[in-house]
Amino acid sequence: MTDLASPPEADFGNPPKLFDGTADLDLTPETADLQYWFDTVPQRTLRGHLLGHAPDVRPTEVVRRPGPLHDALTREVSFRVFAEARTARALGHALLLAPTPATFEFYATQVIDEARHTKAFRQHLVELGIAPDRVEATAEELAGADRDAILIPLEDFVIPVVRDEQDFVAGILLLTILVEGVLAPSFELSERKWRPFDPALADIETGAGIDEVRHLAVGGRIVRDHVAAHPEDVDRLADLVKRGMALMFSLPVLDQLQRWEALFQQGLEQHADLVGDYEIWDGRRLVDTTPDERVQKTFELTGLIHATRLTGMGLGSALG
């Protein structure tokens, strides 16, 4: 049953972290239904702010004016606009296939969550100084090529599974492991490294991260239950994940992160005074980190979360 009292995982003040070993919540499509969403997301996670941060929490001036931090941040945010929008649309295909009322309700909420995320990031470009009527063109200019190189090939792999083969479980597996599982850790890094320069963006990321933990938990649970009931399907699903990961590793994700981190580094050095002793991770001051270290940490965490999740689903054989 839904715990109406106070599910701590929805709390903005104490969010579950992907970084802390994937925060495995015991959520199912039945417990994470519309009532759960209604009780937790609008008032608890969002605290009534559709765009994910309080109106008085603002980006600092250094990310709003021209310079490497502005360039780095507008690129990241533009890519997120595309990533969230495309995830929402891919999930729409999965929603059409939802086999039960509970999965239908859960995926309806996830479509809304991803639609909110893309709206929040689009609006954040305006908060960073982009004219409202220039947002789409700017996102295209700053991240259109990365969308084409990274998101479209992923989508070309995932969408046929849900749209053409109408395979709900395989679609959820790919959306959970490939799309959300692989992109989410770099988004959590984003929250941590931008916090001193742009607390508004960091708050948006905190809220989106709480949503992701829920999405990953329920998606993982659906696959786990299916695998437990249909052991004969393990090889096929593991093979699908392997092919998806091989595709993922062939995409220029490293190149993208390196470009973002190089710009961030320039800005970090220029504005180290704003960062002070702020720690990006426990015991590690942001000002002491290097672009390579931040990129490597992202990949490490992605690998860890990926392995934990696949094993939890009963698909550890895909790791071999």
Residues that bind Fe ion (CB under 5 A): 84, 114, 117, 212, 215
236 HSE (CA, 13 A, CB side): 12
Q: 114 or 188: whose CB is closer to Fe ion?
A: 114
Backbone conformation region of residue 246, classed left if phi is above 0, alpha if psi is from -120 to 50, else beta: alpha
Say if residues 196 and 286 touch (Cβ distance below 8 Å): yes
Q: 155 or 233: whose CB is closer to Fe ion?
A: 155
Distances (CA, A) of 97 to 93, 150, 182, 223: 7, 26, 23, 15
Q: 138 or 176: whose CB is closer to Fe ion?
A: 176
**Tokens in use for 38?**
């209604």
Say if residues 234 and 177 touch (Cβ distance below 8 Å): no
Q: 210 or 245: whose CB is closer to Fe ion?
A: 210
**Minimum CB–partner distance for residue 183 and Fe ion (Å):** 8
**Minimum CB–partner distance for residue 114 and Fe ion (Å):** 5
The interaxial angle of helices 234-250 and 199-229, nearest 10 deg, is 150
**Minimum CB–partner distance for residue 243 and Fe ion (Å):** 22
Q: What gap in Å lies between CA 49 and CA 54, rounded to an integer?
A: 6
Say if residues 37 and 104 touch (Cβ distance below 8 Å): no
**Minimum CB–partner distance for residue 84 and Fe ion (Å):** 5
Q: 9 or 84: whose CB is closer to Fe ion?
A: 84
Q: Radius of gyration (Cα) for the chain, nearest Å? A: 19
Q: 213 or 227: whose CB is closer to Fe ion?
A: 213
Q: 64 or 117: whose CB is closer to Fe ion?
A: 117
Say if residues 220 and 172 touch (Cβ distance below 8 Å): no
**Minimum CB–partner distance for residue 117 and Fe ion (Å):** 4
Q: 198 or 212: whose CB is closer to Fe ion?
A: 212
Phi first, then psi, for residue 193 (nearest 5°) are -80, -25
**Minimum CB–partner distance for residue 178 and Fe ion (Å):** 12
**Minimum CB–partner distance for residue 184 and Fe ion (Å):** 7
**Minimum CB–partner distance for residue 292 and Fe ion (Å):** 27
Q: 69 or 210: whose CB is closer to Fe ion?
A: 210
- All residues at 6 or more sequence positions from 238 whose CB lies less than 8 Å from its CB, including other chains: 315, 317, 318
- All residues at 6 or more sequence positions from 304 whose CB lies less than 8 Å from its CB, including other chains: 21, 22
- All residues at 6 or more sequence positions from 56 whose CB lies less than 8 Å from its CB, including other chains: none
**Minimum CB–partner distance for residue 218 and Fe ion (Å):** 10
Q: What gap in Å lies between CA 191 and CA 186, rounded to an integer?
A: 9
